[in-house]
Amino acid sequence: MPAVDYRSLAGGILEQVGGEANVVSLAHCATRLRFRLKDAAKADKRAVEALPGVITVMEAGGQFQVVIGNDVPIVFAEIGRISALTGDASAADEGPKGNLFDQFIDLISKIFSPILWTLAGVGLLKAFLTLAVTLGWLAADGQTYTILNAAGDGLFYFLPILLSVTAARRFGANQFSSMAIAGALVYPTIVALNDAGAPVSFLGIPVVMVSYTSSVVPIIVAVWMQALIEKWLARVLPSVIRNFTVPLVTITVMVPLTLIVVGPVTSFAATAISSAVVWLFGLAPWLAGAIMGGLWQVFVIFGLHWGFVPIMVNDLATQGYSVLGGPLPAAVLAQGAAVLAVAIRTRSQKLRQIAGPAAVSGILAGVTEPAIYGANLPLKRPFAFGVAGGAVGGAIAAAGGSANTAFALPSLIALPAWMGQGNFTLQLIGVGVAMAIAFTLTMVIGFTDPDDDAPEAGAEVVTAGVAGASEVLAPVSGELVALDSVKDKVFASGALGSGLGIVPSSGQVYAPFAGTVVSAFPTGHAFGIKSADGVEALIHIGIDTVQLDGRGFAAAVSQGQSVEAGDLLATVDLDAVTSAGYDPTTVVVITNSAQFAAVLPAEGHEVAHGDPAIIIER
């Protein structure tokens, strides 16, 4: 099947429903776009159904429903990018919300991820320039150095402009307007006002000037505010003037607002946080180094490391170094040394094929994900030995006041970035001790070697007497019904895949197999789960229950979460669903049914959750 061009599909759907002006509202559920139209006669149902990527179209409940399947959030997001209908250009990238700290970490991760490798690349360039000057290969006042330094410094100087693009994508703002706002912050005359130190005002309002070159937080906050203003303007302005008026008003408002309020407040907050961290390093540097060195890779696993990135970048911009980075080479290279020992010690050919390349990337380039997820963490002990080595090495490095003077992924070849601040000899000793501890403990104490002949996690299993099959359990207790008897045209047609329905007798809904929650609708009425061996199931609680907007539903899991068979997915108040006039039948469909030899649903009888419901033959 050819790949679907989602941007073209979004434009085609919007055109065939009568254009943006004919749409009263647009929402989406687990499988379909739900339009409310001003004039339904303007919508061409057949033309929409003919678009590549559209499964079918339903008209029910006053809605024009375009069935897309699992990729509906992507199409919804694309419509948001070409119109003002959804107000959410990041809908395709929804993730677990969590608490405020989790949301902050997720936000920073999404904004920095697209430019991380470029940051690392120019960071290495700056590190090698430092090495070249230290060894006398280049003169710091020479033209060659000036040109190469510009190549390494340019991204950092104009960092707000780069972040404005990624932040705009995250918040659903116009990225070119975001770049205009960021460009104003680093405009030469604005930089000159800050450098002059003289009083500055705007319409008589005092402006506290700060440096925005290389800054992080001000532009992120500014783009978030920009997105809010743009969405409001898109609702209130007539379409005939909207295209040019929205950026005109937004840029005119946001540049002064950022200079007067956002910049000074966020810069003060960032400085305060950085000062607190530096104070901890000043109070007990060895302890702070042990904590950072020991826990850094744990932070990476949980995504918590993104919370430190703005502080590090802010430190590099304001003082030229970051003590937070001092313990990090020990943390990273210890994991690399541990996986190197795994590659040498293991008798498993499969594990050696993973651990060998992982050791190279971890030690030379500082990319430890293959080492951690491919070997150290599954084996447990090597990861713990790496943590121990990182803690000891980090304490030694921090005791010497080591800090990085450029943004670079901690690695063997990036060590020149740590030459310019603190005792570099202690940094090298710390790295050496960290690697020695991790390598020696892994080699001596060892780990449990995996059995190459044992079936891998997620491999095909034998269930219900069928060879090469997988089993899908009933997610709820109740009465089985054939899929073609379900009172929903799309499900009943099998367009979304083979499966069955269950009229529930209780309100607890459980995972039908072990896997990952790949989609969890915010209203708690639908979940997508994918098993390690490739089975993709959609559990849809009730028919058209998205209209309840979450009333009566309480989700117990979130997107990205791992679940075991029988884990609680959600609780639903069946009385509330039925009293509101909705059918509570829970539908289970295998959305990638075409990939299997057969999908065999059980037939009409009572089931309890956890009973076999569907057998998948491979």
List active site positions: 29, 540
Give the angle subtended at the CA of 527 by the CAs of 522 and 529, to the nearest 5°: 135
Question: HSE (CB half, 13 Å, CA atoms) of 224?
Answer: 10
In this structure, what DSSP letter does residue 61 have? T
- Tell me how crowded residue 1 is: count the other CB atoms within 10 A of its CB: 6
Strands 498-504 and 508-510: unpaired
- Return the closest-CA partner of residue 365 out of 328, 408, 419, 310: 408
Q: Residues with Cβ < 8 Å from 141, sequence gap 6 or more? A: none
Measured CA to CA, the distance from residue 264 to residue 260 in angstroms comes to 7
- Tell me how crowded residue 251 is: count the other CB atoms within 10 A of its CB: 20
Is residue 269 a contact partner of residue 245, using CB atoms and an 8 Å limit?
Answer: no
Measured CA to CA, the distance from residue 398 to residue 433 in angstroms comes to 13
Strands 515-520 and 562-563: antiparallel
Give the angle subtended at the CA of 479 by the CAs of 473 and 482, to the nearest 5°: 80
Beta bridge partners of 481: 501
Beta bridge partners of 66: 33, 57
Strands 586-590 and 606-607: unpaired
Helix, strand or coil for residue 481?
Answer: strand
In this structure, what DSSP letter does residue 307 have? G
Q: Residues with Cβ < 8 Å from 339, sequence gap 6 or more? A: 355, 358, 359, 362, 371, 374, 375, 376, 382
Name the phi and psi angles at 551, rounded to 5. -70, 125
- Return the closest-CA partner of residue 163 out of 152, 175, 174: 175
What Cα–Cα distance (Å) separates residue 84 from each residue in 68, 242, 317?
21, 10, 37
Measured CA to CA, the distance from residue 49 to residue 13 in angstroms comes to 9
In three-state form (DSSP H/G/I as H, E/B as E, the rest C), the secondary structure along 334-364 is HHHHHHHHHHHHCCCHHHHHHHHHHHHHHHH
Q: What distance, in Å, lies between the first and last C-alpha atoms of the chain?
A: 20
Give the angle subtended at the CA of 16 by the CAs of 12 and 22, to the nearest 5°: 120
Q: Which amino acid is at 379?
A: L
